[in-house]
Structure 1
Amino acid sequence: MRPQSVADAVRVIDSVHEIDVSDLPIPRMEIELSAPGEDLTPEGEWHDSPRVMALVRLHGHPLGVLFLDGSAGPSRQVHAAGIWASLRPRIDTHLAADGLPDASTLDDLVGSTTPTPPGCERARDAVLSSPPLISVVVATRDRPESLSVCLNSLLASTYRRFEIVVVDNDPSGDDTATMIAERFESVRYVREYRRGLASAHNRGLAVAQGRIIAFVDDDVLVDRHWMTAIAQGFAETDDVGCVTGLILPEQLETPAQLLLEHRGGYGKGFDLKIYDTSGHRPDDPLFPFAAGQLGSGANMAFDAEILRAMGGFDAALGVGTRARGGDDMSGFFRTVVAGHRLVYQPGAIVWHRHYRDMAALRNMARGCGVGMGAYLASSLVFEPRMIVELIRCFPRAFAKAFLPRTTSVESQPHPWPTELVNVERRGLVVGPAAYAMSRWRARRIDERCGS
């Protein structure tokens, strides 16, 4: 059976994952397996905590996230067996792709020398040798301090050919403009008075100069290799219209954040994936309508020419409108339906600040439901030829969204409490109506503005 309440779900998480809520906060850290030294933290500090969430990399490429015993200290020898047991298949796969021999222990990965650099490093160097201009668009509203942290992480990027455009969406004052003028003179600041995330993104698209337009939320930190990995995603295959990336929790300090992350969070895994409607169609009968599996708006990038040809984002969708979301899913859907490819690149990492309290988590669940329903309505407005396909998918989609599951809690590693499931379902039902109202309002605004 499914846990009925948020509190029940947290208790289930405790038993399944052996992470006690009393252990919160759970600090995060990064481990680079190829780095020399006795410790696992050559560039950071070890957290003497009951649990430490560790992102493990090899040659800078993410392999997975593990929860380690922080009280055991940072010694490689102490944690080697657990890391090896959990990640050896991924390590072997990565080494094979790099053209390197298998390793027998973690020690084989440290400071090893080869006549040529690993394949992943050569691919990274190839992108950096002729980097396309990337325009990073950050939409924000009345959160100058959170935005400041995000901008500092962007400016620390190892990628050097980029511009940053901050779009202040219907701000209540000048705090954000003042902060940018005082701290970030290289950042371009524009305002968009039409409320809504999609409208803010469209404003950024209108002024951006890059061949690639990347979007991040103002409550994330970007990895230093994020832009490089975005560029690699576009170079992965031909006709790439969109690249999405890995989203990990910036903090696990509250039960709400822990619940969201162990439900699956925003992450889509550590394997590179290519999606299209032909040779790279996933084994999912709801594709391409189940666009949430392709990525999230907190970490997405588009070919600027392709996005402009689609008319940008649907202004009736997104946070700040009655639709409350769905603008990112619409962008992904329309990209693949138009015949382009979408690449999920796990090396493009951002760290997201999850909602801290249960009330915000419930509001998020409702927003997800409304946004999904609104996005599905939008998909038929922009792609009416897909109505037959949607009708074909409807029975499975209905069963997935509304019929009770017979699997036990033990078989569900990330149980979502019934109260949040019901909130999301109710939002899904009203989503199409919310989209119709939001679209009517957007049209009225266009008429008043003479556009």
Structure 2
Amino acid sequence: MSRTTRAQQEIRRFLDIGPVQVAELDLDDHVLRPGPGSPPVTPGEVFVLVRRAGRPIGTLLGQVPPGADPRSVLTERALALEEGEGHREDGWDRAVAVPPPRATVVVATRERADRLARALDSLLAQDHPRFEIVVVDNAPVTGGTRELVERKYAERVRYLCEPVPGLAVAHNAGLAAVRSEVVAFTDDDVVADPRWLTELTAPFAADPALGCATGLILPARLGTPAQVLLESHGGFAKGFAPRTYDPEDPPADEPLFPFTAGRFGSGANMAFRTEVLRAVGGFDPATGAGTAARGGDDLYGFVRVLAQGHRLRYTPWALVWHHHRETWRDLEAQAYGYGAGLTAYLTAILVNRPALLPAFLARLPRGLARARALTAVREAAGGGTPGAHDARAHPWPGRLSRLQRRGMLHGPLGYLRARRAVRAATVRRPG
């Protein structure tokens, strides 16, 4: 079969993917609620977040037959899920009993005022007792973001303008303005769960050695083939088991630790102890969206913090709902950017901390073997447990895998180009 024929088949399969409803169900009250911005659930396929006492414990993909009651059908499935998974507790459950530290939420944005408003509304509804919000307007070409903040949010949101493009540059500008013990970062295309900030920051009060925390990211909508395909392969979620990554006790299942930073979390849901992030120099400004590196800024931050001996905590109880990209072209750009960001951040780590090179090379053979195994699984037509979050019900297109590999080849060169561009912009910058 020719590559053209395979590509045509992949596109046809992609276009055949139907929409999936998004909902959530708490097993304490058995109330089925639509996902953020979604209509009430009707018969059909439904992606359900299952909670217990408000906390996420898992997801399921359920089919509600015509004429059936969605709540009854999905509750039965959810109870079976809980019985199989169990409610995981690990002593950190007590962390939320400790008052969370004062926090600042930094949101970098560029020309997406409509999405930003939705995100800010959810952030202002947080139950955290002491926090502020900083919006960083990155290389704006219009006054839309400033006008939105000044018109609707001026009393509760601080506005900053960062003229140099790049997500890491914008995050560093926000970091410089922080006056709190913890700084959290999220994106302008999320809806934050009301307890997100409390759950994300409370672990810092419980563990003085904690340098970073990350949380759960689930889809806000699954209305297009691109959104459904991405989420069927796990999306941005990192599971429902809380986990602490400790450089003093490297995980046996992560042969490249701490360089497998993509396993720890994502930039749409992360927080750092402010003094720790500042001590490592913040994010590398030559990484991230908006630069030739295309990504990797969050991964760079994770590794730098771990390499300094601080722990990283992943907690599924800190939830944001993410609006995934909607089209095939979006997925192509995302696949290429993910590959580029991966090798760009590794290049950035080794350029800025060359002392880490021996450790990286020593871990590389086992890490590559594991990566090949995971890639083979992802490209397979099956895999995963039917109905589970990462069910992989739809084959991952070979073109997206190829684009990711091309991006990986581009990453180091893209990083070096971005590094030169940042230096040039810094020289030109007034003051």
Shift of 1:434: 1.0
1:31 aligns to 2:33 (yes or no): no
1:21 aligns to 2:11 (yes or no): no
Alignment counterpart, residue 144 of structure 2, candidates 175, 178, 181: 175
Q: Which amino acid aligns with 2:124?
A: L
The corresponding residue for 2:82 is 87
The answer to whether the 8 A contact 1:401-1:425 is kept is no
The corresponding residue for 1:132 is 101
The corresponding residue for 1:437 is 417
For the residue of structure 1 that corresponds to 2:44, the secondary structure is coil
Q: 1:400 to 1:211 in 2, by over 3 A?
A: same
For the residue of structure 2 that corresponds to 1:312, the secondary structure is coil
The answer to whether the 8 A contact 2:22-2:46 is kept is yes
The answer to whether the 8 A contact 1:196-1:319 is kept is yes
Which residues in structure 2 correspond to 1:3-82 (within 5 Å)? 5=7, 8=10, 11=13, 21-22=17-18, 24=19, 26-35=20-29, 39-41=31-33, 46-70=40-64, 71=66, 72-76=68-72, 78-82=73-77
Rg larger in structure: 1
Alignment counterpart, residue 161 of structure 1, candidates 130, 153, 159: 130
Shift of 1:148: 0.2
For the residue of structure 1 that corresponds to 2:161, the secondary structure is strand
Q: 1:325 to 1:366 in 2, by over 3 A?
A: same
Q: Which amino acid aligns with 1:309?
A: A
1:290-324 Cα deviation digits (max 9, x unpaired): 11000001111000000011111100101001001
Q: 1:43 to 1:429 in 2, by over 3 A?
A: closer
The corresponding residue for 2:235 is 265
1:426 aligns to 2:406 (yes or no): yes
The corresponding residue for 2:194 is 224
1:393-447 Cα deviation digits (max 9, x unpaired): 3334445567984895333653422111111101101211111111122122233
**Alpha-carbon distance between aligned partners in 2 of 1:10 and 1:160, rounded to the nearest angstrom:** 50
Q: 1:4 to 1:385 in 2, by over 3 A?
A: farther
For the residue of structure 2 that corresponds to 1:232, the secondary structure is helix
Alignment counterpart, residue 246 of structure 1, candidates 216, 227, 231: 216
**Alpha-carbon distance between aligned partners in 2 of 1:139 and 1:93, rounded to the nearest angstrom:** 33
1:128-148 Cα deviation digits (max 9, x unpaired): xx3321100000000000000
Q: 1:402 to 1:55 in 2, by over 3 A?
A: closer
Q: Which amino acid aligns with 1:134?
A: A
Q: 1:363 to 1:41 in 2, by over 3 A?
A: closer
The answer to whether the 8 A contact 2:101-2:202 is kept is no
**Alpha-carbon distance between aligned partners in 1 of 2:12 and 2:265, rounded to the nearest angstrom:** 26
Matched length: 414
Q: Which amino acid aligns with 2:342?
A: M
CA RMSD of aligned residues (A): 2.8
Which residues in structure 2 correspond to 1:84-123 (within 5 Å)? 84-94=79-89, 120=93, 123=95
Q: Which amino acid aligns with 2:425?
A: I
Q: Which amino acid aligns with 1:347?
A: W
Q: Which amino acid aligns with 2:24?
A: E
Q: Which amino acid aligns with 2:201?
A: A
Unpaired runs of 5+ residues, structure 2, are: 385-390
Shift of 1:382: 1.9
For the residue of structure 2 that corresponds to 1:443, the secondary structure is helix
The corresponding residue for 2:275 is 305
Q: 1:285 to 1:10 in 2, by over 3 A?
A: farther
For the residue of structure 1 that corresponds to 2:60, the secondary structure is strand
Shift of 1:46: 4.1
The corresponding residue for 2:291 is 321
The answer to whether the 8 A contact 1:239-1:341 is kept is yes
Q: 1:260 to 1:75 in 2, by over 3 A?
A: closer
Q: Which amino acid aligns with 1:409?
A: A
Shift of 1:254: 0.5
For the residue of structure 2 that corresponds to 1:344, the secondary structure is strand
